[in-house]
Structure 1
Amino acid sequence: MSVVIVGTLDTKGEEIGFARDVLQAESVEVHVVDTSVMGDPEFEPDTTANEVADAAGTTLSHLRDDADRGEAIETMGEGAAAIVTRLHEAGRLDGVLGLGGSGNTSIATTAMRALPVGIPKVMVSTMASGDTEPYVGAKDVMMMYSVADIEGLNQLSRQVIANAALAMVGMITNEPDAEIAEKPTIGLTMFGVTTPCIQHAREKLEAMGYETIVFHATGTGGRAMEELIRQGTIDGVLDVTTTEWADELVGGVLSAGPERLDAAAQTGTPQVVSVGALDMVNFGPRDSVPGTFEGRKLHVHNPQVTLMRTNVDENAELGRILAEKLNAATGPTALYLPSHGVSMLDTEGEDFYDPEADAALFDALREHLNEGVELLELDTHINDEAFAEALVEKLDAYLREAGLAPGA
């Protein structure tokens, strides 16, 4: 078993050396990657800072003499990501451990995010008690707060670093005792306002012998699903809740980025897609909604979340975008439209009921979808059981045809 430690040996050599010693005492092989820029390492690493810079397509002397701190950190992160990827592909990496402040947290977690989900990733960081999304992204990075700064060894830092190292030992040297049955895996997307649909679909799929992974469509959820599709973890996609595209288009806070809906299309993964929660854009507290949206229809979901109804023009553009994404699919693809509303709030008597906006979305999809995408329209609401059952039946048919269904 081998653990890679990513860290700046010019400033954190003592602490990294201690982590290495803890791991080696547990009979774990250790490979230290030095990501220092300004100073010399306190001990000889297995991969030097020069080699990290070279892996990023530059030189350490350039980063020292010509780059600012931000560029240097970004570049060393790219190099570290390339190094750990090579080590993993060569079978020389079972887990990654990082130690540091904001700089090396950025570098080490960039490297961690380059690895597949499931590879243990532990980051001991002074930044772990704040907003960790920039470091974790859509990967299974474990952030551990260092409590005190990582500056010298003392009774506190030794205990925290040792705990992190021993946690890594436990992860790489143990398999779960519980029996894990291999089943075809379905990725589903859900929001609070599409929960009934997904709950019923999940129950149906699991009764049929599938395993399900539900992703909360909050930006990171969509990105995580896209990554797992590319990784080959997911065999079929029930992408009911494509709401993240509304945030990407309009400027909400829960965008999954412009690559959302690309992974299944490009990998040929069977997918059944719908338009769940495209009636809304997400913002924070009510006073965080940009002034440019004054006068728009808003719904205060809770003190931290304010929703804004998408309008006719936005829905027309969302329809065009979704059609473009689905038209690129290389595998079986169906799009289902619920004629009676796309979320809990989009039903008669609720705040976001707007048949004209929904019609703009549906019309754009009808206009722009190619014949290669099956378009099915049901006289139901998105949260009706009949709608969920139709989605499940179509996806199951695709997977059976591809030889991916349970028992195939």
Structure 2
Amino acid sequence: MSKTILVVGTYDTKEDELGYLAKVIQRQGGKVLTMDVSVLGDPSAPTDVSKHQVAEAGGNSIQAAIVSGDENTAMQIMARGSAAKAVGLYRDGKIDGVIVLGGTMATDLALDLCAALPVGVPKYFVSTVAFSPLLPPDRIPSDVQMILWAGGLYGLNSICKASLSQAAGAVLGAARAVEPPKRDRPLIGMTSFGKTVLRYMVDLKPALEARGFEVAVFHATGMGGRAFESLAAEGAFAAVFDFAPQEVSNHLFGGLSAGEDRMTSAGRAGVPQLVAPGCYDLVDLIGWQPTPDSLSDRPVHAHNRLLTSVVLDADERRQVAATICDKLSNATAPVALLLPTGGCNEWDRPGADLHDADGLAVFCDEIKSCCPDAVDLHVLDCHINDQEFTTAALKVFDFWLENGTVKAG
């Protein structure tokens, strides 16, 4: 149960606070490795990883950071170096988790450092701007934990110690309790939403498990897509069933984006892709914020107090179709695109509140027109939630199993 936590921060200005974090971890039986990401100043005692080593790990030097004369440039040098150094320490088995402490500077760095570590490595940051709108969703690592550093801008006090001690216990406890992802069965990555709107995973998951695969279903509301893309980029998936690429629409029209790279990582990594346009016609917005003027005249589905979906018009659907096809055109492994012409979410069935037959027809026509030659297009006379869709998906997947496109366990 002896675990080592990497404690990261600017030791020239936050030495007392970082030292307190380390002592709490050590009092609980953990070990600590310290990393200094300062630029101008020096700590009173050497850290395990010096600021010079950090800068060099990013292909630069502290002198270059200082000479730049710009704090943003300097901190990006340290961000690159700290990420590279942390990954190296983890791969060498020297750390089991990481915690970063600081204000906006260290938080900016923490986003890069934590994103560089694999999913399953405990990663925490204690920040004066945790949960703030300053943090863009497309930079937040998929499995990071944030704790607000209340009352901690300058110096130790009883208020900030409460935050720091919880954070120290949390990262050490996570390092002790975590079950890292196993690789005993090939993994299928699938995107979806809850069963009220998309249902294919109910049948697909057990069917794929019966074929010897593990299935991970990602909730495609921004952060879920980020996790999906991160694992796809690592080559963690034997294949993907990317049937809820709504985050592409979100990114285009100001919704809950998973970033510009959504729907590209599997293709770049050579992972076979089964793709369908689940919920392509919706843009998910933050329910408690005003609807943007550009989308204010649309049919709306208030899913709950957090999430509201608005419907795209015909021209916007054309743009989504063209964007999906463009993204798939760069894939380096086989892609099958399933196009259910009867609808792509439960709310757009005939008679449902968000049904738009004309808009659906426009989207389908654009997909047929733009689909790259290398993509295997399957036009299906059914709805995405019908059994026929699931059957068609499994038929493609079984063909890939037979011809070796997808490797069984």
TM-score range, shorter chain: 0.7 to 0.9
CA distances 1:96-135 after superposition (whole Å, capped 9, x unpaired): 1222233323223321111111122122333346559548
Change (3 A) 1:51 1:282: same
Counterpart CA distance in 2 for 1:179 and 1:319 is: 34
Equivalent in the alignment of 1:81:
83
Counterpart CA distance in 2 for 1:370 and 1:157 is: 56
Counterpart CA distance in 1 for 2:77 and 2:182 is: 40
Equivalent in the alignment of 1:234:
237
Residues 297 and 309 of structure 1 are in contact (CA less than 8 Å); yes or no, is this contact kept in structure 2? yes
Equivalent in the alignment of 2:142:
139
Residues 97 and 175 of structure 2 are in contact (CA less than 8 Å); yes or no, is this contact kept in structure 1? yes
Counterpart CA distance in 2 for 1:174 and 1:247 is: 35
Displacement of 1:9 in angstroms is 0.5
Equivalent in the alignment of 2:34:
32
Counterpart CA distance in 1 for 2:317 and 2:212 is: 36
Q: Which amino acid aligns with 1:240?
A: F
Equivalent in the alignment of 1:350:
352
Find out whether 1:120 has 2:122 as its counterpart. Answer: yes
Residues 111 and 141 of structure 2 are in contact (CA less than 8 Å); yes or no, is this contact kept in structure 1? no
Equivalent in the alignment of 1:51:
53
Structure-to-structure mapping, 1:126-275, within 5 angstroms: 126-128=128-130, 130=132, 134=136, 137-149=140-152, 151-153=154-156, 157=160, 160-173=163-176, 182-192=184-194, 194-249=197-252, 251-275=253-277
- TM-score (structure 1 length as normaliser): 0.86
Residues 5 and 32 of structure 1 are in contact (CA less than 8 Å); yes or no, is this contact kept in structure 2? yes
Percentage of pairs with the same residue: 34
Secondary structure of 1:386's aligned partner: helix
Equivalent in the alignment of 2:290:
288
Greater shift, 25-34 or 108-117, is seen at 25-34
- TM-score (structure 2 length as normaliser): 0.86
Equivalent in the alignment of 1:320:
322
Change (3 A) 1:14 1:278: same
Counterpart CA distance in 2 for 1:309 and 1:25 is: 54
Displacement of 1:389 in angstroms is 2.8
Secondary structure of 2:277's aligned partner: coil
Equivalent in the alignment of 2:390:
388
Residues 226 and 258 of structure 2 are in contact (CA less than 8 Å); yes or no, is this contact kept in structure 1? yes
Q: Which amino acid aligns with 1:325?
A: K
Change (3 A) 1:129 1:354: closer
Change (3 A) 1:289 1:155: closer
Please list every run of 5 or more consecutive structure 2 residues that lacks an aligned counterpart in the other structure. Answer: none
Greater shift, 213-222 or 297-306, is seen at 297-306
Residues 2 and 92 of structure 1 are in contact (CA less than 8 Å); yes or no, is this contact kept in structure 2? yes
Counterpart CA distance in 2 for 1:70 and 1:6 is: 18
Counterpart CA distance in 2 for 1:372 and 1:332 is: 8
**How many equivalent residue pairs?**
405
Change (3 A) 1:29 1:336: same
Residues 102 and 127 of structure 2 are in contact (CA less than 8 Å); yes or no, is this contact kept in structure 1? yes
Change (3 A) 1:157 1:380: same
Greater shift, 216-225 or 99-108, is seen at 99-108
Q: Which amino acid aligns with 2:14?
A: K
Change (3 A) 1:279 1:124: same
Please list every run of 5 or more consecutive structure 1 residues that lacks an aligned counterpart in the other structure. Answer: none
Residues 238 and 395 of structure 1 are in contact (CA less than 8 Å); yes or no, is this contact kept in structure 2? no
Residues 201 and 388 of structure 1 are in contact (CA less than 8 Å); yes or no, is this contact kept in structure 2? yes
Counterpart CA distance in 2 for 1:304 and 1:139 is: 19
Secondary structure of 1:278's aligned partner: coil
Change (3 A) 1:40 1:271: same
CA distances 1:157-176 after superposition (whole Å, capped 9, x unpaired): 55654454444444445675
Secondary structure of 2:346's aligned partner: coil
Residues 286 and 300 of structure 1 are in contact (CA less than 8 Å); yes or no, is this contact kept in structure 2? no
Change (3 A) 1:80 1:211: same
Counterpart CA distance in 2 for 1:175 and 1:216 is: 21
Equivalent in the alignment of 2:99:
97
Change (3 A) 1:67 1:285: farther
Greater shift, 340-349 or 156-165, is seen at 156-165
Displacement of 1:340 in angstroms is 0.9
Greater shift, 262-271 or 300-309, is seen at 300-309
Equivalent in the alignment of 1:365:
367
Counterpart CA distance in 2 for 1:175 and 1:302 is: 32
Displacement of 1:380 in angstroms is 1.0
Residues 238 and 406 of structure 2 are in contact (CA less than 8 Å); yes or no, is this contact kept in structure 1? yes
Greater shift, 262-271 or 121-130, is seen at 121-130
Displacement of 1:235 in angstroms is 1.7
Secondary structure of 2:347's aligned partner: coil
Counterpart CA distance in 2 for 1:300 and 1:167 is: 35
Find out whether 1:8 has 2:10 as its counterpart. Answer: yes
CA distances 1:284-308 after superposition (whole Å, capped 9, x unpaired): 3487222234544444444443333
Residues 187 and 239 of structure 2 are in contact (CA less than 8 Å); yes or no, is this contact kept in structure 1? yes
Displacement of 1:277 in angstroms is 0.7
Displacement of 1:143 in angstroms is 1.9
Change (3 A) 1:53 1:350: same
Displacement of 1:238 in angstroms is 0.8
